[in-house]
Chains A and B, each alone.
Chain A
Amino acid sequence: MHEWALAEAVIAAASQIAEQEGLKEVTEVKIKVGELQQIELDILEFALSQLKPAKFKDAKFSIELAKAELKCRVCSYKWSFKKEKMDENAAEAIHFVPEIAHAYIKCPKCGSPDFEILEGRGVWLESIKGVKQEDG
């Protein structure tokens, strides 16, 4: 249920943005979730629905899954993260702290652990839409 903690972060960040933008009502929140973190999307959605404050009452939360693309810093080889190829404990560790991938994953071509996570790391707030407060 560490998805709950991430959902809290999404709600906190979205609330701050809504406040800054002067939104009286939020209608849509777009979230991007990286495959590397193997988030349980239904738990994330449930947590968001439970945590949303009044301003988000009618907000639609759309979650897009981003492929995890890795690139070796030594030989420039690019590859995608595949959970199925991972040991269960390693996959779980990466779920909590995606950077731990460097302890378990090596470049399939040259064997280096020095790779970059190009895309698909964690949870991102992509955009929020809403109705602005009227002036005065």
Chain B
Amino acid sequence: MVDPRTSIIDERMRGIGRIIAVSSGKGGVGKSLVAATLALTLAKKGYNVGLFDLDFTSPSTHIILGIEGIRPKEEKGIVPPIVHGIKYMSIIYYSGEHVSPLRGADVSNALIELLSITRWERLDFLVIDMPPGIGDATLDLIRLIKNIEFLIVTTPSQLAFETVRKLVSLLKELKIPVIGIVENMRMNNSKTIQQQTQKLDLNFLGEIPYDPKVEKAIGNTDNLLNTMFAKKLEKIVEKLWHNQKK
């Protein structure tokens, strides 16, 4: 027996310019905030953007974006609704407030299902909020999406960076492009992460100072885009994609 779903994923991804998996070695580094704000920033700059929350057991981008009571349209598949200028897809449409305790194989199956039925159509960027670490979702995306690229988020903590090293090592081994590393929640002027990133032969994309205002801006995208956090991320976006076609 053959699982037919994987045969259609290329077709579903065909209209997407760049697929950016926002990833981290471990949780709690602000990956979902970076993913959601990155999507908002790109949309603000006039790009066609999708955001796909793949953190199935702990989805949170809908809270960051203040999304409630919206459902995707069913039309020869699933058409993600446009929220704050972003085509937004999350398992939250289906799990709602319920806990979804999924094992690895279930995560894989749910991921393949959503990849095969979601109609993104034409996008300049698809930003993916990944679950932390090197689990099933990461391995599946690497296996199923040909032109995926990783943007890695870390904090200044050596604990976070050690797990990043492992993620980078896997991605390098599999020849998956890494856009670079963002240092989030910087508290001082230490250049340790920047130096260690360069030692890994990767781009250090920039640092984002710890911004206590972000927490209060959660759920309100206008306020979020006005935080120092978002402004710093915008600089990174401008540097990275100033030549990107719309």
Contact = CB atoms under 8 A, between A and B. Distances in A.
Q: Do A and B come from one complex?
A: yes
Interface of A: 1-2, 4-6, 8-10, 12-14, 16-17, 32, 89, 93, 96-100, 102-104, 113-114, 121-126
Contacts of A12: 4, 7-8, 11
B1 A113 contact: no
Given A102-B100, A103-B95, A9 B4 contact: yes
The residue among A8, A13, A93, A99 with the most chain B CB atoms within 10 A of its own CB is: A99
Contact of A97 (B74, B94, B96): B94
22 contacts: A1-B74, A1-B75, A2-B78, A5-B8, A5-B77, A8-B76, A9-B7, A12-B4, A12-B7, A12-B8, A13-B8, A17-B2, A93-B95, A96-B78, A98-B109, A99-B109, A100-B95, A100-B110, A102-B101, A102-B106, A103-B94, A122-B109
A100 B102 CA distance: 8
The winner among B8, B78, B113 for most chain A CB atoms within 10 A is: B113
Contact of B4 (A1, A4, A13, A114): A13
Nearest to A73: B103
B129 to A, nearest CB: 17
Contacts, number: 107
B99 interface: yes
Given A93-B95, A97-B110, A102-B102, A126 B8 contact: no
Interface of B: 1-8, 11, 74-78, 91, 93-96, 98-103, 106-107, 109-110, 113-114, 116-117, 119
Contact of A32 (B1, B75, B101, B119): B1
A10 B106 contact: no
Contact of B1 (A97, A102, A124): A124
Contacts of B75: 1
Contacts of A124: 1-4
B78 A5 contact: yes
B212 to A, nearest CB: 34
Nearest to B114: A97
Given A8-B11, A99-B110, 20 more contacts: A2-B76, A5-B78, A8-B76, A9-B5, A12-B4, A13-B2, A13-B4, A99-B102, A99-B113, A103-B95, A103-B96, A103-B99, A103-B101, A121-B109, A122-B3, A122-B109, A124-B4, A125-B3, A125-B4, A126-B1
Nearest to B112: A122
Contacts of B113: 96-99, 122
Given A99-B102, A102-B106, A104-B98, A9 B116 contact: yes
Contact of B98 (A2, A4, A17, A103): A103
Nearest to A37: B113
Given A13-B7, A125-B2, A96 B99 contact: no
